[in-house]
Amino acid sequence: MRQVHATHGSEHQNQNQNDHERLTLDLLQRSADARGRERLRLLDEVVLLNLGLAESIARRYYWRGIERDDLLQVANLGLVNAVRRFDPRRGGDFVSFAVPTISGEVKRYFRDHGWTVRPPRRVQELAAELTAARAELTQDRGRAPTAPDLAEYLGVGVDEIREADASHVCFTAASIDHRMSDDDTPLADALGEDDDGFARADAVTVLGPACRELQPRDRHILYLRFFRGLTQQEIGQELGVTQMQVSRLLARILGQLRARIDREARPV
């Protein structure tokens, strides 16, 4: 019995949705033939009839740093724009046309007021163009356009389309304490760190040839100082010289290495 009631409720909901779509289309068709105040009245009826659609889209963007009332107002503005731009004589479904139009209006508002990390201007502008392009292609083709469709329509590369699509993640920054969905690992534990090995590899590459040009005694002094970590006094005791002499020897050796490296780095 419960299953029968559920099926009946679903059918009733679908019927209401179909009636809503037919009424919306009827009002839009009548507005296309009307003029003046009569046309504005019919368009206003379409807006009032579809306020729930605007609210449902605005709800997707809650908790992203913009006040709810502002988002709802912007979504309603997008609905008004969609109603005014939709041409029933070209066919197509109004909802399929309105959703990207309203979403685009909300995304533009985020672009101008909600960036946490601001992407390059070209990405922002392309993201705005995508909204209008999606609405146009959806109405013309009766389906949501793919990334290649949008790239061809806008005359840009597919990678640029994907970059612009991905820019919405710049609206909010994730906390480093955010738990990853897969194994509950904090985001901070998944972030990479600087690898000191790269700096060491660069130093070895640069210093290796220069050190090989040193006299054996000079290389031994460098070994004692920088590999064994002996102080100047301890090096002097091992070599049988004073600490002051070790200091002068190190200054000369390091100066020689620096001159050799500078000479190699000088452009030809």
| pLDDT value of position 47 | 92
Q: Looking at the predicted structure, is the pLDDT value of residue 80 above 90?
A: yes
Q: Is residue 21 part of a domain?
A: yes
Among 110-114, 173-177, 204-208, 241-245, name the one with the lowest average pLDDT: 173-177
207 and 259: one domain?
yes
Q: Is residue 215 part of a domain?
A: yes
| pLDDT value of position 128 | 75
Averaged pLDDT of the chain? 80
151 and 50: one domain?
yes
Mean per-residue pLDDT, 57-66: 79
Distances (CA, A) of 178 to 54, 168, 187: 30, 19, 5
Q: Higher pLDDT residue, 261 or 237?
A: 237
250 and 214: one domain?
yes
139 and 228: one domain?
no
| pLDDT value of position 166 | 77
Contact 177, 188 (CB under 8 A): yes
Q: Is residue 190 part of a domain?
A: no
| CATH number of the domain where residue 70 is located | 1.20.120
Q: Higher pLDDT residue, 64 or 234?
A: 234
83 and 201: one domain?
no
| pLDDT value of position 188 | 61
pLDDT in tens, 190-226: 666 666 666 667 767 777 888 888 898 998 998 898 8
67 and 147: one domain?
yes
211 and 109: one domain?
no
The DSSP code sequence of the chain is -HHHHHHHHHHHHHHHHHHHHHHHHHHHHHHHH--HHHHHHHHHHHHHHTHHHHHHHHHTTTTSSS-HHHHHHHHHHHHHHHHHH--GGG---HHHHHHHHHHHHHHHHHHHH--SSPPPHHHHHHHHHHHHHHHHHHHHHSSPPPHHHHHHHHTS-HHHHHHHHHGGGGGS---TTPBPTTT--BHHHHS----HHHHHHHHHHHHHHHHHTS-HHHHHHHIIIIIS---HHHHHHHHTS-HHHHHHHHHHHHHHHHHHHHHHHS--
228 and 164: one domain?
no
Using the structure block, give the residue that is written with the tokens 């909204």: 131
97 and 159: one domain?
yes
159 and 49: one domain?
yes
23 and 133: one domain?
yes
Mean per-residue pLDDT, 2-25: 66
pLDDT in tens, 166-183: 776 565 555 556 555 555
Using the structure block, give the residue that is written with the tokens 């912007």: 74
| pLDDT value of position 48 | 92
pLDDT in tens, 138-150: 878 888 889 999 9
87 and 156: one domain?
yes
| CATH number of the domain where residue 212 is located | 1.20.140.160
Count: domains in the chain? 2
Residue range of the domain that includes 200: 196-265
Q: Looking at the predicted structure, is the pLDDT value of residue 237 above 60?
A: yes
Other Cβ atoms closer than 10 A to 137: 19
Q: Is residue 181 part of a domain?
A: no
For residues 215 and 231, give the distance between their C-alpha atoms in angstroms, rounded to a whole number: 21
Against a cut of 0.85, is the pTM above it? no
Q: Is residue 95 part of a domain?
A: yes
| pLDDT value of position 67 | 80
